[in-house]
Chain A
Amino acid sequence: MKTTKTSRPTRALEKSLATRLTGRYVLRLFVAGATDRSCQAVQNVRQLCDAKLKNKYRLEVIDIYQQPELARDNQIVATPTLVKAWPRPVRRFIGNLANTAGLLVELDVGLRGSARL
């Protein structure tokens, strides 16, 4: 079961990777409805990514109320959850991202890694 769960986004990812530039960030933000917390999370992620990654990222915002099966497939328990699906390793940031220190470190590491490449 676990393999199918992970394989679906992986396959999607591989497909997207085949067409797009490598090193592009794939971020998925799972929110539950249009609450204040969801809006904050979306805003915070956008700000940070625009500042740090400019056009090198793709952000999908998924409302699990609309697509509850995606919550299951992506093992979402807490909302909001930001999943950094690419580059590896997968990281999950739970919360409204008011505290972006963790995410920054993660993105920095990624950037530095990709810069070196």
Chain B
Amino acid sequence: MKHRKPKDGSTSPRRNHSLPKCPTGIQGLDEITCGGLPQGRPTLVCGGAGCGKTLLAAEFLVRGATQFDEPGVFMAFEETEAELKANVESLGFNLAGLVRSRQVVVDYVHIERSEVQESGEYDLEGLFVRLNHAIDSIGAKRVVLDSLEALFASLPNEAILRAELRRLFRWLKDKGVTAVITAERGREQLTRHGLEEYVSDCVILLDHRVTDQIATRNLRVVKYRGALHGTNEFPFLIGAEGLSVLPITSLGLNHTVSSERIATGIPRLDAMLGGRGFFRGSSILLTGTPGTGKTIVAANFAQAAARRGERVLFFSFEESPNQIVRNMHSIGLRLEPLVKGGLLRFHSARPSLYGLEMHLATMFKEIVAFQPRVVIMDPITSLMDAGTASESKGMVTRLIDYLKAGQVTSLFTSLTQGGHVLQQSEAAMSSLMDAWVLLQDFEGNGERNRVLYVLKARGMAHSNQIREFLISDRGIDVVDAYIGVSGVLTGSARVAQGALEKAAVLANQQEAATLKREVERKRSALERQISALRSDYESEALELRRIAEQVGTRTSVLGTERTASGILRQADIKVATIVQGKPRPGRKS
């Protein structure tokens, strides 16, 4: 009855909200399907050989019985009950126990093709009766048919079979059980025998593909009538606890954010980031060409965080933990006490060890186990080689999502090839990153120098300056690069430029000193002249005084002599006095 309604199309939007869903309990699948499989309807799970159809179906049933109190019927067309139990056991499901406790019924349907001969009209009522009996015997809510297509191989008349399968799916709907039907992937269509034609409510496609020798399992909800669902292809894993479809986290962008800032361990870099470092819970990308010191910056960041008492998880895809510890020791970073103290943990794995999704799952596991505040991935690019660009971007997105949800600060280093600074992959990845610090080489004058600058830092004032970045046995030192008319100068060129400037200053100083000395000399010459003139003047004045004195003396002497002669000549005093006033005329006369 139900299945006819959505076909009208007119009522479907209203039904979106009311469509009941049956949770699978499979990690991640319920998130993608926004709640589970359509309740009371059949779902088709198709995929190639070995992609996990049976396990998905079995997990749906087992979790239904154990977590949702919904008993189930497993109708196996390919495996016997014993085989099925053993296979599912390896995933940690106790199917045998559930069968004993009457929560699951396993019915193995087997038709020996060589025994069977067709002789007239028939139908599949036998199958219906068996299924009905199994469902009713335990009150099952879930049914798995794995895989119906085996019937095509064992029953000769395809026309009858198709008609009966159509009837079967309708019957399952009427019965109100949530069914999972598995089918082999076809060449041109979703299933080999076109079962998708009959099961049209929900179709899930599983895929197991090998790219560059690395196998990845993918799951995609091709169709989900009357409900919202994630349409992307999601990688999934078959692990010790059953299937887990990634993302484990939500697909939304609604993490809480922190305005707390954390230091990078490099004071000058903090200064470039508004003086206080990165935001907690942000994602940081550190790109650079080989040998620019990405790991060193990352290790500094790790050390700074661990010294604050935060747990740091360091994923290394190139170096072993011991190698990193040793190498960092050479620049004065002592990581081993932090490792011993349990604040820093390394996880090293070769990128090609397994597929991307397995890496992601391992990382999730590590993160969940260690509960770090800071996660470092060094380098993310070599991990990206393990998958295609889009896969790895999806993976990084999921990882960042997951970390952000937990307010974990993440630092990713990324290796770029020389020359091109902005590689395609980085440009794609950068949109996921909150901050991006670039490390770069400058070659010239027969040397190679490192510089560092902040390309972007969301939500904070940051320096636009290029800084030179020196690595010594005392650690990292960030210094101002020389920026002038001739461009950015680093290393010895910077030092040479400094020397050049110093020389210029010295020359100027010397010139000034010379000038000063000259002035001084002139001043002293002037003073010498002044004193010479003064002494001239003084000697002349002295002469004048002497002459005046002489004159006086002579006059008085003359007067005295006149008086004496007057006395002698007995002249009047009057004459004498006149002569005294005018000695010369008197003398002349």
Contacts and interface: CB of A to CB of B under 8 A. Distances in A.
Interface in B401-459: none
B124 A100 contact: no
Interface in B44-68: none
B115 A92 contact: yes
Contacts of B117: 91-94, 102-103, 106
Q: Which of A37, A78, A103 has the most CB of B within 10 A?
A: A78
Interface stretch (B126-134, B291-299, B570-578): B126-134
B127 A89 contact: no
Contact of B125 (A64, A93, A98): A64
A95 B115 contact: no
Contacts of A103: 117, 119
Given A1-B80, A1-B81, A77-B111, A95 B120 contact: yes
A2 interface: yes
Interface stretch (B102-110, B261-269, B466-474): B102-110
Contacts of A99: 118-120
A76 interface: yes
Interface string A24-55: 00000010110001001100100000000000
Given A32-B125, A79-B122, A90 B115 contact: yes
Given A68-B129, A68-B130, A95-B119, A75 B80 contact: no
Contact of B124 (A77, A93, A96): A77
B121 interface: yes
B369 interface: no
Contact of B115 (A76, A78, A79, A89): A89
A92 B115 CA distance: 6
Given A75-B111, A77-B111, A77-B155, A94 B130 contact: no
Nearest to A76: B126
A69 B131 CA distance: 10
A91 B118 CA distance: 11
A66 B62 CA distance: 30
B576 to A, nearest CB: 182
Contact of A98 (B110, B121, B154): B121
Contact of A94 (B110, B119, B132): B119
B155 A97 contact: no
Interface in B86-103: none
Contact of A79 (B107, B125, B134, B154): B125
Nearest to B115: A92
A72 B130 contact: yes
Nearest to B83: A1
Contacts, number: 113
B109 A75 contact: yes
A18 to B, nearest CB: 25
Interface string A3-21: 0000000000000000000
Given A1-B108, A75-B111, A92 B125 contact: no
Contacts of B132: 68
A100 B119 contact: yes
A93 B130 contact: no
Contacts of B188: none
Contacts of B130: 68, 71-72, 76-77
B214 interface: no
Nearest to B105: A72
B116 interface: yes
B197 interface: no
A71 B126 contact: yes
A1 B107 CA distance: 10
Contacts of A64: 125-126, 129
A77 B151 contact: yes
Given A1-B80, A75-B110, A77-B155, A92 B116 contact: yes
Nearest to B121: A96
B82 interface: yes
Contacts of B128: 32
B260 interface: no
A89 to B, nearest CB: 7
Contacts of A100: 119
B156 to A, nearest CB: 9
Nearest to B126: A76
A64 B121 CA distance: 18
B8 interface: no
Nearest to B132: A68
Contact of B80 (A2, A68, A71, A106): A2
A8 to B, nearest CB: 15
A44 B122 CA distance: 14
Given A77-B124, A77-B151, A79-B126, A1 B119 contact: no
Given A92-B116, A94-B119, A96-B121, A77 B127 contact: yes
B80 A32 contact: no
A1 to B, nearest CB: 5
A76 B123 CA distance: 11
8 closest residue pairs by CB, A with B: A95-B120, A68-B133, A32-B125, A76-B126, A98-B120, A96-B120, A79-B125, A102-B117
Interface of B: 80-82, 107-112, 115-130, 132-134, 151, 154-155
Given A37-B122, A77-B126, 4 more contacts: A77-B111, A95-B119, A96-B119, A100-B119
18 contacts: A2-B80, A71-B129, A75-B111, A77-B155, A78-B122, A79-B125, A89-B115, A91-B115, A92-B116, A92-B117, A93-B116, A93-B117, A94-B116, A94-B118, A96-B121, A98-B121, A101-B119, A102-B118
